[in-house]
Structure 1
Amino acid sequence: MTLIARHGPAWTYIDYHQFLLMKPDQQDYVPEEAGRLLSTTGEGVLVHTGIANGNVAVHIEIHDHQPPLDDADWEEVAEASTKVEHGPLMVRCLTADPPALPMLTPAGPGTYRLRAHARGRDIAYDGCVSRSPEVYLIQIWPAPRAQTDRPVRQRPAPPRTPRRGVATPALFRDR
């Protein structure tokens, strides 16, 4: 396993409880399953946050093979697969410019596995804060599509407001 690149933290603007790992020009998306740390969209992944609006710290690691799992400092860890048919994946925001992070798919088109680590999602749940204490680490590597997307580690107890999913913003509906 070789670490190709490590970047961050980059303050990433959150709107509607999420940031995206998608192609730069991808517009439409419908989460296949909301309410977890990760939701797949076909050619992308949504990362669901605790805060509704504001900035969170995002770290990126790009690997050439699956990295070992080190979840000691993280409250939640989840994995998902995504297929990139053309164009690179990048960290994107719904209503703001993307953060200063690199493209996530240096190996080009193919199938990738993502592992998201999160800490602090319940500290300011549903809040609007300029800089949240939430922290995310996204690891990505080329890999065949896994049979299932799965939470690897979940804690703490569910938040006061259940995460039942986030409505698709009007900006992306009816296209």
Structure 2
Amino acid sequence: MNDSTPSAPAQARVWVHYAQFYLADPELGTDGLPTPEQATDGILATGRDGACVRTGLNTGYVTVSAQCLPQRPDTLPAGAWGTSSEGTLESTTGSLLVHSWEDGAIEDLPDLAAHGPGLYHLRISARGRDQGQAIDTTGPGEDSGEHYFLETWPIP
């Protein structure tokens, strides 16, 4: 990737179970990453080579958009977001993909450590978490109304 060109935002439905999804290197997996209970702000727990995102929905699909940027953006993401969380994580391998707890890496979303190994800042914007929590569980064809936008950029 050219360091001055951000990846285009991509979107995918991500199956969550036990109110969580992860960012992880597919080769390393999610074992050893923080758990939803470690999300002190109720949304994000970061660790070495990954992070755990706590969702409102217990089981079902949430919509996730993701983008790796070359540097901190000048503006917040467009749209109506109910809450956000930020953190720092280290990618020792230069690979950080969204992972479903059951389905593994979501290949339709970009690598959030696309600039190689190192420290990254992660910003998560979310909406519909209260709705997802109230619903608790949806079937495969149902929309929970819960959405996340993940942005990362390298820390020099």
Bucket of the pairwise TM-score, normalised by the shorter protein: 0.7 to 0.9
Question: Paired residue for 2:12?
Answer: 10
Quick check: which one's helix share is greater?
Answer: 2
Question: Paired residue for 2:129?
Answer: 121
How far apart are 1:43 and its partner, in Å?
2.2
Q: TM-score, normalised by structure 1?
A: 0.74
Q: In the aligned structure 2, how far is the partner of 1:9 from the partner of 1:30?
A: 24
Further displaced range: 75-84 or 38-47: 38-47
CA contact (8 A) 1:12 1:98 kept: no
Further displaced range: 36-45 or 130-139: 36-45
Question: Paired residue for 1:134?
Answer: 146
How far apart are 1:87 and its partner, in Å?
4.2
1:34 aligns with 2:56: no
How far apart are 1:3 and its partner, in Å?
5.3
Alignment RMSD: 2.1
CA contact (8 A) 2:112 2:151 kept: no
Question: Paired residue for 1:67?
Answer: 73
Q: In the aligned structure 2, how far is the partner of 1:120 from the partner of 1:76?
A: 9
Q: In the aligned structure 1, how far is the partner of 2:83 from the partner of 2:75?
A: 12
In structure 2, the gaps of 5 or more residues are: none
Q: In the aligned structure 2, how far is the partner of 1:22 from the partner of 1:113?
A: 14
Cα 1:87–1:62 shift into 2, 3 Å: closer
1:56 to 62, 82, 90: 62
CA contact (8 A) 1:6 1:59 kept: no
Further displaced range: 3-12 or 48-57: 3-12
**Percent identity of paired positions between Structure 1 and Structure 2:** 30
Secondary structure of 1:122's aligned partner: helix
Q: TM-score, normalised by structure 2?
A: 0.83
Number of matched residues?
A: 144
How far apart are 1:101 and its partner, in Å?
1.2
